Amino acid sequence: MAGNYNAKNQRDYEASLSETAKIRRRNLKSFSAAKSFIRLHANKDQLHDIINLAKEVLKEKNES
């Protein structure tokens, strides 16, 4: 079937990507992992830390 995972095809696909596309793909994977951590594993204190960090970063980005 065409929809089955094939490691060689995956490696070939990733090797064919431009450097910009590789960076974007890596960033999306990292973001997805962070969202999963927040949803599945973060405790209340960690969630408060994440919220405060996000507010600080947003403020910095809005100022620049």
* Assessment of whether the complete model's pTM goes beyond 0.85: no
pLDDT for 43: 98
State the pLDDT at residue 28.
96
Beta strands (DSSP E) in 1-64 are none
CB atoms within 10 A of CB 64: 5
Which tokens is 7 given? 């490691």
pLDDT digits over 1-60, tens only? 456 888 899 899 989 999 999 999 999 999 999 999 999 999 999 999 999 999 999 999
